[in-house]
């Protein structure tokens, strides 16, 4: 399984990456390739199974987070076999707002999760498929 952590540079990237790996290990997921990515949405053009997204720190004073949430929603709709997980409360709020702005069309995209706990059953299922 290929897992990407797309984050901003304001995060404590190394510790957050370790925390994600620990969460995965805690639910029994141990076989994966892990990539930390701190640039823009070009990461969505690469192949991956699960994307952890956290752009909360870089969103102050600009609209990057909202723009990236929109981009992720469109990408998730086009790639229903991939899993997209918001990795911070701030980012989850932004994604929730983005889904509400799109209305019914994007409200129920089943592969976008606001936190790790919501996504856990789907992550386990994806590993079984591998």
In whole angstroms, how far apart are CA 46 and each of 62, 70, 82, 104, 129?
26, 18, 12, 28, 20
Model confidence pLDDT, tens digit, residues 15-32: 889 999 999 999 999 889
pLDDT of residue 67: 85
Range of the structural domain that residue 102 is part of: 2-129
pTM of the model: 0.91
In whole angstroms, how far apart are CA 14 and each of 1, 22, 108?
20, 12, 32
Model confidence pLDDT, tens digit, residues 83-123: 999 998 889 998 988 888 877 766 678 999 999 999 999 99
Task: Give the CATH number, domain containing residue 75.
Answer: 3.40.50
Our count of domains for the chain comes to 1
């Amino acid at each position: 399984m290929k897992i990407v952590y797309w984050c901003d540079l304001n995060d404590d990237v190394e510790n957050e990456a370790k925390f994600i790996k620990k969460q995965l290990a805690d639910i029994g997921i141990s076989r994966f390739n892990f990539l930390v990515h701190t640039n823009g949405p070009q990461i969505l053009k690469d192949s991956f199974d699960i994307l952890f997204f956290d752009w909360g720190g870089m969103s102050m004073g600009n609209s990057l987070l909202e723009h990236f949430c929109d981009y992720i929603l469109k990408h998730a709709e086009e790639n229903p076999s991939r899993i997209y997980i918001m990795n911070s409360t701030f980012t989850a709020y932004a994604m929730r707002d983005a889904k509400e702005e799109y209305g019914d069309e994007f409200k129920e995209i089943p592969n976008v999760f606001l936190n790790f706990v919501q996504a856990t059953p789907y992550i386990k299922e994806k590993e079984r498929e591998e």
